[in-house]
């Protein structure tokens, strides 16, 4: 099955890096530095229940302190902050059987960059805007764009 009706379970990332709400933002930054990811799911740990999602932008927003003249980094402001201080709690999520079309619609209409995938109460994956773009590119047939190549 290809196209917008493809279930997310066929394209989602299943191997997840997760954090707990009590983890430090320093730990989160180390994960971002050491892995090619832009979002980290936040779980309760033992049960795999989704509690939130943390992005690089969420952390950056804590570092920047707006002023009348410019934005300056305020490192002291985030020194003792935890993941809970920066994450988006109770994020929108989808089921593995939901479709690529639904995910694309949510990403585009809400300017999301990732959607956790939850089955029952357990986090089972994530779909990012990158995953959706990659899927779209892989499913386009040469005849779909041949007129643009002439």
Domains defined along the chain, listed by start? 8-138 (3.10.580.10)
The tens digit of pLDDT for each residue in 89-101 reads: 999 999 999 999 9
Q: What is the 3-state secondary structure (H, E, C) of 93-136?
A: CECCCCEHHHHHHHHHHHCCCEEEEEECCEEEEEEEHHHHHHHH
- Locate the DSSP E strands across 1-150: 18-19, 39-43, 50-55, 64-66, 71-73, 88-89, 114-119, 122-128
Averaged pLDDT of the chain: 87
What digits encode the pLDDT tens for the residues 17-48?
999 999 999 899 999 999 999 999 999 988 88
Better-scored residue on pLDDT, 67 or 82: 82
The neighbour count for residue 132, using CB atoms within 10 Å, is: 20
Reported as half-sphere exposure (CB side, CA atoms, 13 A), residue 102 has a value of 15
> Would strands 50-55 and 64-66 be described as parallel, antiparallel, or unpaired?
unpaired
What pTM was computed for the model?
A: 0.84
């Amino acid at each position: 099955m290809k196209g917008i009706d493809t279930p997310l379970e066929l394209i989602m990332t299943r191997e997840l890096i997760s954090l707990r709400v009590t983890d430090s933002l320093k730990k989160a930054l180390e994960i971002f530095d050491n892995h090619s990811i832009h979002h980290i799911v936040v779980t309760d740990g033992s049960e795999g229940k989704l509690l939130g999602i943390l992005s690089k932008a969420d952390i950056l927003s804590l570092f920047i302190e707006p002023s009348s003249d410019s934005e300056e980094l305020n490192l002291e402001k985030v020194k003792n902050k935890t993941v809970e201080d920066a994450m988006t709690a109770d994020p929108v999520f989808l089921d593995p059987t939901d479709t690529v079309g639904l995910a694309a619609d949510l990403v585009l209409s809400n300017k999301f960059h990732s959607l956790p995938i939850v089955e029952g109460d357990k986090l089972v994956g994530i779909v990012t805007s990158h995953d959706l773009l990659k899927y779209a590119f892989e499913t386009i047939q040469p005849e779909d764009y041949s007129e643009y190549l002439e």
